[in-house]
């Protein structure tokens, strides 16, 4: 493993500083080996407040910086980030077990994509609008508390930090404490890019020790949180007393409707691959595949072939398709949900309990497919966050839409059809923040966020920028 600097420091007010006396150390576990590979400092309220006050002190000056200055800063951050891509990817492979090629192209690559998209958005964003004699002005909301997850660390850090910088906000970032290495590399990037002191601050810590301080503190004006719905509820409750803005991207149980005119082989195999990407640890993964009842068994056979062709193992092996899941806690949860699927009467098509054959350590899950899944089963209702697919038969297009919408979540949905007009009509009926038709390319300029218990607010490019802005009306401006 690469040597990491600053593991025992926080980045506050433009410097790497020692934690307070009450701070502790936490082991970083490599999920592929179950071994500790590093120890990071875990902050306290005192550490979090030092960072918050540094951000507050920097806000007046940074929020007054010109758009041109903020653009120049974002471009420098982007360029330094690009030069550190291999370091970021190596950190992500170590901390969450992402296969090396995937860690570079998708994990680290997503952060670069957000930086580039935000530069483009800022180049074209109108901060002022004239309506008669009234001038509408969009200005930075203030100090942002950013709480990011372990499953897509750079995707979520960059999709929050970049628009906050673009808006003129200052910020305190708390990455996930179980995957903190890439966040430390990101802070080094910000320092090298010349981000003014206090504009960006990083404090590692857990939810009760640092996250709760960010969400409740009166000097934080917006808290942007990505994580589980359960934790998101706690963040919102903590933020309520100070009436701060809360942006949340939470859980999902995304349906993938394969209509009867779709190419079943292509649609099912791509759906399995999409569900199992990142070892199934994506909030928008298409985890519920809805297929015509008459072609259910055919779909199971395709899914079985696709799943069994995947290679689960050492993330440093170029042949590996799927790495481990993040932790023992997640491993145990997924195993429990696999057991519930069997107990509830779903058909186990492939995969199942325990590690894949030949693996004796690491949090590896067998790529698992269930068929005959019905809406009341736990595996159809709960977010599993592992490589587990539920295939559900439906009787009609209306039945498919009903099943798809029968969830407390609404982050993403998917529709596959040979008739684009038909797919569009079904997509309009789905209660989700993003609906992807026929597996399109990732769109960094499309708003990302959820309906219902999948959160509120939208991220990516100009949509994310809006979350960090207040709106002021200057009436009689002339």
Phi/psi-derived region of residue 324, left when phi > 0, alpha when psi is between -120 and 50, beta in every other case: beta
Q: What are phi and psi of 55, to 5 degrees?
A: -65, -40
State both tokens at 79: 């360029």
Non-local CB neighbours of 399 within 8 Å, separated by 6+ positions = none
Active-site option among 249, 382, 383, 459: 249
CA separation for the pair 241, 363 (Å, rounded)? 40
Non-local CB neighbours of 112 within 8 Å, separated by 6+ positions = 78, 81, 82, 85, 158
Identify whether 169 is a catalytic site residue.
no
State both tokens at 210: 């640092």
State both tokens at 195: 């981000």
Identify whether 383 is a catalytic site residue.
no
Handedness of CA 175, 181, 182, 188 (dihedral sign): positive
Torsion of CA 251, 363, 390, 159, to 10 degrees: 30
| DSSP E strands, 206-354 | 222-226, 245-249, 255-258, 288-292, 347-350
- The conformation of residue 326, written as its DSSP 8-state character, comes to S
| 169 contacts 58 by C-beta, under 8 angstroms | no
Non-local CB neighbours of 347 within 8 Å, separated by 6+ positions = 300, 370, 371, 372
Active-site option among 100, 177, 275, 283: 283
Looking at the annotation, which residues are catalytic? 249, 283
């Amino acid at each position: 493993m690469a040597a990491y600097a600053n593991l025992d420091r926080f980045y506050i007010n433009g410097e790497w500083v020692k934690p307070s006396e009450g701070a502790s150390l936490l082991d970083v576990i490599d999920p592929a080996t179950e071994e500790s590979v590093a120890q990071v400092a875990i902050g306290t309220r005192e550490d979090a407040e030092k960072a918050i006050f540094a951000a507050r002190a920097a806000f007046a000056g940074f929020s007054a910086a010109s758009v041109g200055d903020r653009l120049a800063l974002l471009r420098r951050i982007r360029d330094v980030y690009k030069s550190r891509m291999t370091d970021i990817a190596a950190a992500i492979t170590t901390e969450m077990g992402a296969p090396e090629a995937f860690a570079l192209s998708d994990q680290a690559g997503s952060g670069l994509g957000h930086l580039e998209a935000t530069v483009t958005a800022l180049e074209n964003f109108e901060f002022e609008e004239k309506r008669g004699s009234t001038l509408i002005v969009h200005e930075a909301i203030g100090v942002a508390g950013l709480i990011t997850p372990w499953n897509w660390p750079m995707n979520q850090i960059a999709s929050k930090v970049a628009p906050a910088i673009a808006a003129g906000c200052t910020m305190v970032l708390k990455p996930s404490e179980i995957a903190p290495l890439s966040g430390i590399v990101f802070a080094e990037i910000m320092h090298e890019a010349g981000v003014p002191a206090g504009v960006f601050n990083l404090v590692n810590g857990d939810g009760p020790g640092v996250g709760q301080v960010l969400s409740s503190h009166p000097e934080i004006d917006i808290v942007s949180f990505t994580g589980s719905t359960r934790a998101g509820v706690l963040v919102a409750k903590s933020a309520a007393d100070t009436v701060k803005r809360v942006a949340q991207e939470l859980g999902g149980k995304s349906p993938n409707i394969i209509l009867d005119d779709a190419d079943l082989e292509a649609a099912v195999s791509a759906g399995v691959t999409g569900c199992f990407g990142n070892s199934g640890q994506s909030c928008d993964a298409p985890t519920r595949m809805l297929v015509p009842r008459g072609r259910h068994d055919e779909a199971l056979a395709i899914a079985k072939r696709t799943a069994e062709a995947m290679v689960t193992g050492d993330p440093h092996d170029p042949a590996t398709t799927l790495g481990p899941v993040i932790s023992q806690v997640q491993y145990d949860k997924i195993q429990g949900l696999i057991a519930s699927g069997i107990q509830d009467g779903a058909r186990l098509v492939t995969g199942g309990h325990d590690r894949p054959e030949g693996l004796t350590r690491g949090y590896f899950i067998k790529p698992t497919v269930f068929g005959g899944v019905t809406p009341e089963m736990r595996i159809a209702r709960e977010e599993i966050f592992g490589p587990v697919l539920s295939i559900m038969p439906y009787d009609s297009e209306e039945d498919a839409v009903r099943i798809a919408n029968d969830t407390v979540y609404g982050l993403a949905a998917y529709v596959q059809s040979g008739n684009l007009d038909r797919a569009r009509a079904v997509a309009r009926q789905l209660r989700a923040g993003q609906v992807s038709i026929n597996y399109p390319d990732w769109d960094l300029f499309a708003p990302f966020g959820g309906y219902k218990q999948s959160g509120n607010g939208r991220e990516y490019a100009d949509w994310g920028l809006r979350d960090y802005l207040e709106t002021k009306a200057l009436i009689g401006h002339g």
